[in-house]
Amino acid sequence: MTTTNPVKPTISIDQIVRVYSGRPGCACGCRGNYREDLASFKRSLAKYSGATAVQTDEGDLDLDGNKFVYWRNDQGTRTYTIYYRYNT
C-alpha cells in the first residue's frame, strides 16, 4: 500500500544501494537513469533532505530485498527513488 509519509524514513549514505532519477512515468530506465556510485548517492540524499513529501510502499521490497522511497520535485517534472538496505 502506498503511503505518503509526513515523516521521512531516516536513510544514511551507507544504506543506499541504488538511486533513480528520471521524468515521471515508466521507471524501467527509458525515462531516466539508475546509478550506483557514491557521488549520485550523495546528490540524491541531498535532494531527499529537501523533499517536502515522499512516498513509500510500506512492506514492499525491490527484487534485491531493499526498501525504497520516492518523491517528485516541486515542479512535478522529475521523479527520484532511493533504494536502501534497512537491516544492516
Binding region for Zn ion (CB under 5 A):
26, 28, 30
Q: What backbone phi and psi angles, to 5 degrees, belong to 11?
A: -125, 125
Q: How far is the CB of 86 from Zn ion (least distance, A)?
A: 27
Please calculate the CA angle 68-60-31 and round it to the nearest 5 degrees. Answer: 50
Q: How far is the CB of 27 from Zn ion (least distance, A)?
A: 7
End-to-end CA, the chain: 24
Q: Which is nearer to Zn ion, 48 or 80 (CB)?
A: 80
Q: Which is nearer to Zn ion, 48 or 83 (CB)?
A: 83
